[in-house]
Amino acid sequence: MRSGPDHAWAWRRALWLAPLLLAGCGESAPLPPVELQVSVTGIRNDSGTLRAMLCERGEAFPDHCRRFEWQPARAGTAIFRYSMPPGDYAFAVFHDEDGDQRVSMREDGLPAEGVAFSRDAMGANGPPSFSEARFSTAESTRIRALMRYWE
């Protein structure tokens, strides 16, 4: 067995480094992303644009989602695809037929353009809450949302 100043220094260095090396052992690697495919059905015409929002928990659903995309409207069905970490999300889309980049409203307070939400959620006096439209993705998922029009 070796002793002396070099040997003592090696032990001190090993004992000093051990907590640093062990600190990272409890952390897990980030989960791989999952794929989400949203089929929006019931689109009534080719006018304007479909504007879709995907919110994570904690974001102001449906108005201030960080994931936003759009595509030209086509009558029938539209597909939106996302790659994201597993978790809880809510999806909203509206058919911006007049191109003003917002949901136009009728005088009676109902949307003048089509709207759709995950879980086909509908709020009593406005859009649904995040919890009403929430769905979970632990693995790649496909969901449907029905576009609704009040005219």
- Residues 58-61: contacts with CB within 8 Å, 24+ apart? 59/130, 61/90, 61/92, 61/127, 61/129, 61/130, 61/133
Q: Quote the mean pLDDT of the chain.
A: 87
Is pLDDT above 90 for 5? no
Domains and CATH numbers, the chain: 34-146 (2.60.40)
pLDDT digits (tens, 9 = 90+) for 66-90: 899 999 999 999 999 999 999 999 9
Q: What is the pLDDT of residue 19?
A: 53
> Residue 141 and residue 12: Cα distance in Å, rounded?
52
pLDDT digits (tens, 9 = 90+) for 84-115: 999 999 999 999 999 999 999 999 999 999 99
Confidence (pTM): 0.78
Looking at residues 11-39, what average pLDDT do you find? 68
Asked whether the beta carbons of 74 and 43 are under 8 A apart, the reply is: yes
3-state secondary structure of 148: strand
pLDDT digits (tens, 9 = 90+) for 6-22: 655 555 555 555 554 45
